[in-house]
Every structure is written in C-alpha cells, then in structure tokens.
Amino acid sequence: MWLLQARAIKSAPSPAFRFSTFPHPLHRLLRRAIRPSRCSSSAASKTSPSLQPNPTATMVYTQGGTPYVTPHILHKHYAQAYDAEPSNLIGRDLEYFSQAGFDMERIQIKRNAPVAQLYEDAIRNEGAVISASGALINFSGKKTGRSPKDKRIVYEETSKDEIWWGSVNIKMDEHTFEINRERAIDFLNTRDNVYVFDGYAGWDPKYRIKVRVICARAYHALFMHNMLIRPSDEELANFGEPDFIIYNAGQFPANRFTKGMSSATSVEINFKRMEMVILGTEYAGEMKKGVFSVMHYLQPVKFGQLSLHSSANVGMEKGDVTLFFGLSGTGKTTLSADPRRQLIGDDEHVWSDTGVFNIEGGCYAKCINLSAEKEPEIYNAVRFGSILENVVYNPITRVPDYDDIGITENTRCAYPIEYIPNAKIPCVVDRQPSNIIMLTCDAFGVLPPVSKLTPEQASYHFLAGYTSKTPGTEDGVLEPIPTFSTCYSAPFIVLHPGRYAEMLAERMAKHNVDCWLINTGWTAGKYGTGKRCPLKYTRRIVDAVHSGELAKAEFETFGTFGLQIPIALEGVPRELLNPRSAWPDKEAFEREVRKLAGMFKKAFALYEEDVDEKVRLAGPQV
C-alpha cells in the first residue's frame, strides 16, 4: 500500500549496483580496479535519469499506514514572493501544502524570495546585520558546527542493503522519522513566515536533482539560495515536484524521549521518501552536507557515477582538470581559488563518465584569519548576497574581525560561485581530470608537504583517509584531532568505502591520472610545537603540479611511508620538503613517524582483508 510513492526511483542497475550486498569481496574489486582501462562506460548513464516523478501520485502511505502528502508546488506563475500578498501559493499548491500538514491559514510561504527580501526579513526577525562590504552577518545559535553523532539514516527496504551501517550511518526507524517530520512541520506552522527555496543539485542536467528546502529562517533560505544551483525564472516556473525535500526546523529541539534520539538535535535522511528533517541545530552547513549525502547515495547507486568530497578547477590555457580531495579545513576551498585557473567548485563534485561537475551553486569558505593578501578571491566574495556565519564584527563600523574566534573557529562565508572571478559557469567540464591532489592536514607533522603516489598508494590513502578534524567544524572538536576519515569524506559517505574506492581506481587507471598527496598541516614539529605549512609554499607546490614541473622533478623515498618526495622545488625551502630535515628534534620526529605508521596500520586493518596485496603494501611499513 505504501508504494503510491510520488518520487519512486526506478533505474537500470548501475555497475556499482552489482555489489549491493555487503560485506562483499572488496579485494577482488580493488584488484580489478587497479588494472588499467578496466572501466566500462556506465549503463546507467545511457539510461535517462530515473528521478522523474510520477505526476499523478502525490499521496504516500508508509508501512504503518499513515497518509502523508508531499508539499508540491505545481503552479507556474510565481517566481517571486511579495510581502504584500498573504500567500503566493494558490490553487493546488495551497492544497498540497495543507494536505502535507502546513497551516496555510496561518503561515505565509515565501518561495525563492529575492535576496533583498531575505535580508530584510533576517534583519527584522533574526537580529542579522549588514557587514561593511554588504554581506549579511548571521548567527546559528548554540550549534556552530555539524553534529555527526546526531545524524541518522532511515532503515527502510529500498536502501537498507546499500547503506554502510555503523557509527556514521546510524539507523533510525521509519516511525521515528515520521514523528520528527511531523514535529518539524508543527513547528514551522507556528512561524509567521515559512521560506521555500527550490533549486538544483548537480550542474550536469543528466545527473542533477531538484531540491526543495522548507525552513523558518530567512538566513537558511539565503544560505541554500547560495549553495544550491539557482534556477532561472523559467526553470522555477516549470520546477514541478522536487526529488528531495529538506524540512529545516532547526530552532526547535527533537524530543529526547523519542526512540533513538541521543540529544535534542536530530539530522535525519530518509532515502525512500527522499526527505531530510533537521531539529535542534541551526548550523546551516547541515543542509548542504545533507544534499551531499544524498548525492553520495544516488550518484553511485542510481547513475553509476562517482561522487567525491573535493574541490575542482581547470587550467585556463591547457584546460587540464584537477580534483582536490580533503576533509574540512584541509584547503579545498583555499587552494582551488586560483587566479590562473577557473573554479569548478570548492567542495562537492561528481566524476562522471564524461567529465566533472559541481554539485553546488556556491562556496562555503572558512573565514578564520581571512585576509585580502592571502586569499583575495574569497575575501572579495564577501559582499551583498553572501552570508557571514558566526563572524564577530565591529559594532560601530560593521567590519568583520576574521581573527576573532570568540563565537567559533568555524566562521564561514557562503556565497554564490559567480562571486569568484574565475568561476567556470556552468560548473561542468567535458574533460577527464589530469591530476588528483589528496589534501591531508597532518597534526603530527610527519607527512611531507608533497609526495607523488602510485595507483596502489592512491587507493590505500583514499581508503585510509588520514587527516585531522579542524576545530569547530564538528560539534565538540576544539583542536586538530588526527582521524582516519575514509574517502576523505567519512561523515558524508553512505555506501561502503570500497565502492567509492573501486570506482576511483577504475577512473584513475582509465584516464591515466597523476595523484599527489599534499600535507597542508604541520611541519617541523607536531601541532603545538611545529607550525602549519605556510600557504605560499603549498600554493607553489600546487602550481608546480599544474605546470608539470613537479612530475619532472627528481624524487627520493621517504622511508617507512614509502612515499616519493621531490628533492628540490624552486620557491620552497629544500629542508621543508623532507620532514626529517625540517624537524629540529630528530628523535622526536622518529617517534612520531612510528606512532603515525602504527595508527595507519590499525586503521587500515578494517580494509586489509579485502584489498589486493599491492594496495595493502602501499601503506607505511613498520
């Protein structure tokens, strides 16, 4: 009875689909993956996208029989919202929203409201202010980073065999989701204004999805206006039914006595309903990373394409594409904003059969210590339309103080991608990557600023995902914490890491991609004694990757880790290139090397049984 599912997803199985039951023999996959040119073009990509809704079905019944209506907006003639009108939803739209539980007698829905209006509402109702350069300064309240421990995935029959269940993807039952969803709608019904933002995720029309955000804060609506791909008036008029809906009632807590709740915060995704509910956190980053989790599921499973936590840019002269993988704070945004290259995107991409496309329509840059000298593109993107989140400002001049971490170290700016002067719009390239740069922020100061990886080392490091958690990005993280964040994306991956790793190895072999490991973290000592690798040197290294200079350099082996490191590179002090020479205290260095190598061994044990011996041996040898 529950399959009157409006947005039922039906598609030809993707190549990745054949591994739908896990544990699967990962070793076979990776062994196959590292042989060159084994990648066949995706069957799924030849079929038309499967997310087309069934326009006749809107009522959904869940297993327990609770009727549930999707708040569709079908009317075509209201791209704008106006304060003057009691509601800009008319006819069937009103009906759908009220059937979905929205109190249309009471609330006013503002759909894709103009930026100026969102500014006005945020200032009037949320205490926002305008910064000296015109950005909207806003605050997310108690939570100023993501809450991974409160993230849940609904356990249901359409996706249960695909999901990598565990501490990242914690199970929630369908009924609890319904309770929280209802709680979110009930809360939204108490607001005078409810904002709806309709936009796309994914710049390649073949693989994009339609996302609807329903929220109570103008700041959240503006955030998603910046982070999703903004539809044209015509696209908005013909938007139809969304493929994925976010109900953000972040100001209102979850009921801690609801089954499975660990706190008053809940961030939950239901792949059957294609919905997300947010309670008890107003940190805007939850929404963009929620969309990313959905793409980490849909792209491999439904489309046979590889989603990656990466930034991407393209050379202006050669047209060469680089992907920068990395967990939060490792430098994806900073290093991909490069005056000599066009920015495809700063955080979430899909490596498809035909090239690379950005999932988002904007960037979410860190503002800590932001300066015009060091990061001019990002600094100048802080203007009308951008959101400064949790940034301290001078109350008289309204000038932001990027060095003040009084609220959080995780200060942010969300801006539309076109605010970066060299943005490649549309953010898609029909060209395969030439270079992959894996960014790690090593708090032990052990890994070299740059090393060239073999394909096996690339698989090893991608699966291990060694880096540090940056202070502030996750609730409770107060200093850089070494972590093994598989696929450099652990909080957002939905499938077993081996499925992404296998697709990556296939694509890298097929397109002969060079891979580099860059440590943007500590050097000449660990966190506390050493210092972070100066940005100017990392930039110089990245330039040398792009010019081809580094590929031609002379290399030496960095023992224990077996990494190939350049002996010299003009513009970077020679002693910095080899951590052994950079550390003044050699004994302390050797101790840290052994410690980190041991941690790698322990972390990789999770995958050891399943990978080819060559991949296993590509890690540190202790």
Ligand X SMILES: C=C(OP(=O)(O)O)C(=O)O
Per-residue CA distances from 241 to 39, 75, 195 (Å): 34, 11, 17
Residue 535 interacts with, from ligand X, ligand ADP, none (CB under 5-8 Å by kind):
ligand ADP
The one catalytic residue in 11, 45, 328, 520 is 328
Nearer to ligand ADP, 96 or 537 (CB): 537
Strand, coil or helix: what is 522?
strand
Q: In the numeric block, which tokens belong to residue 2?
A: 């529950």
112 dihedral zone (left: phi>0; alpha: psi -120 to 50; beta):
left
Sign of CA dihedral 566, 568, 571, 572: positive
Partner whose footprint covers residue 289, from ligand ADP, ligand X, none (CB < 5 to 8 Å by kind): ligand X
Closer residue to ligand ADP in complex, CB, 159/293 = 293
Q: How big is the site for ligand X, counted in residues (CB under 6 A)? A: 9
Q: Count other Cβ atoms within 10 Å, centred on residue 104.
A: 20
Residue 454 token pair: 């073999």
What separation in angstroms does the CA of 122 have from each of 136, 218, 388? 8, 5, 13
Q: Which one of the listed residues 111, 152, 332, 546 is annotated catalytic?
A: 332
C-beta neighbour count of 599 within 10 angstroms: 17
Residue 326 touching ligand ADP (CB under 6 A): yes
What tokens were used for 246? 């976010």
Give the shortest CB-369-to-ligand ADP separation in angstroms: 6
CA distance 165 to 20: 13
**Which residue type does 267 have?**
V
What is d(CA 610, CA 440) in angstroms, rounded to the nearest whole number? 24
Give the residue, chosen from 244, 364, 393, 558, that forms a contact with ligand X under the rule CB under 6 A.
364
Closest separation in Å from C-beta 328 to ligand X:
3
Which of these segments, 98-106, 158-166, 326-334, 506-514, binds ligand ADP (CB under 6 A)? 326-334
Contact map string, positions 533 to 572, toward ligand ADP, x by CB under 6 A: x-x--x----------------------------------
Q: Which of ligand ADP, ligand X, none lies near 442, with the C-beta cut-off 5 to 8 A by kind?
A: none
Catalytic-residue membership of 309: yes
Q: Which does 24 bind (CB under 5 to 8 A by kind): ligand X, ligand ADP, none?
A: none
CB atoms < 10 A from the CB of 55, how many?
A: 11
User: Out of ligand X, ligand ADP, none, which partner does residue 538 contact, by CB within 5 to 8 A per kind?
Assistant: ligand ADP
Single out the residue of 73, 335, 381, 388 in contact with ligand ADP (rule: CB under 6 A): 335
- Of the candidates 143, 289, 296, 341, the residue annotated as catalytic is 289
Alpha-helical segments (H) within 521-585:
535-547, 574-577, 579-582
Within 13 Å and on the Cβ side, how many CA atoms surround 299? Answer: 33
Q: Shortest Cβ contact with ligand X: which residue?
A: 328
Query: What is the C-alpha separation between 417 and 422, in angstroms, rounded?
Result: 9
Applying CB under 6 A, the span of 332-340, 504-512, 553-561, 564-572 interacting with ligand ADP comes to 332-340
Q: Which of 493, 506, 564, 576 is nearest to 534 (CA)?
A: 576
Q: Is 183 a known active-site residue?
A: no
Q: Is 117 in the site for ligand X (CB under 6 A)?
A: no
335, interface contact from ligand X, ligand ADP, none, CB < 5-8 Å by kind: ligand ADP
The answer to whether 334 contacts ligand ADP (rule: CB under 6 A) is yes
DSSP state of 470: P
Give yes or no: 332 in active site: yes
User: How many residues belong to the site for ligand ADP (CB under 6 A)?
Assistant: 18
Residues classed as catalytic = 146, 289, 309, 328, 332-333, 347, 412
Residues that bind ligand X (CB under 6 A): 146, 285, 289, 328-329, 332, 347, 364, 473
